[in-house]
């Protein structure tokens, strides 16, 4: 069997957890996280499709109570789709980072984000220290990372 014909096996979470620090974001680890992200992407896409289908299946009714209920369901579905679309963007960005070698490293400090944090939140772009600093700034100064006041967003 040639190298080209070799079947690439995605490592398990326990294998990734046991990898030594020197293997951080090696090809095998990147494969594991990319696989996780692609599964997440499919789940989010299905959820968005389900919400859209729910919206289109709402029965038309002329009764005022039914119309109000339908409006509420439509609003909730739209909010869910918006939230899931933003999540999908983050997932796609994370997949892009697995391809270009930026995945797993803090976008502010360049330091490793860490396996445990990425297992908990595969779309993370900040180390825990940078994330805590960002949240502290938002709480105390009312400023988001991009420098806008939260009230302005």
Mention the CATH class of domain 22-103: mainly alpha
Angle at 29 between CA 23 and CA 31, to 5 degrees: 145
- Residue 27 phi/psi, 5-degree rounding, is -55, -40
Q: What pLDDT, in 10s, does the model give residues 53-103? A: 888 777 555 554 566 777 888 898 899 999 999 999 999 999 999 999 999
Q: Structure pTM?
A: 0.78
Domain boundaries, the chain: 22-103, 106-153
Burial 42-67 (b: 16+ CB within 10 A, else e): eebeebbeebeeebeeeeeeeeeeee
Per-residue tokens: 111: 């330091």
């Amino acid at each position: 069997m040639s190298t080209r014909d070799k079947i690439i096996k995605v490592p398990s979470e326990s294998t990734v957890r046991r990898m030594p620090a020197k293997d951080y974001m090696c090809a095998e680890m990147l494969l594991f996280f990319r696989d996780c992200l692609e599964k997440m992407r499919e789940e989010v896409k299905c959820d968005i499709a389900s919400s859209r289908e729910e919206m289109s299946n709402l029965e038309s009714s002329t009764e005022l109570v039914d119309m109000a209920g339908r409006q509420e369901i439509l609003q909730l579905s739209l909010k869910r789709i918006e939230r899931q679309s933003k999540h999908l963007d983050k997932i796609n960005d994370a997949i892009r980072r697995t391809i270009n070698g930026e995945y797993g490293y803090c976008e502010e400090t360049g330091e490793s984000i860490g396996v445990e944090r990425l297992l908990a939140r595969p779309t993370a772009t900040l180390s825990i220290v940078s994330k805590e600093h960002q949240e502290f700034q938002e709480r105390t100064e009312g400023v988001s990372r991009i420098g806008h006041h939260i009230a302005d967003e």
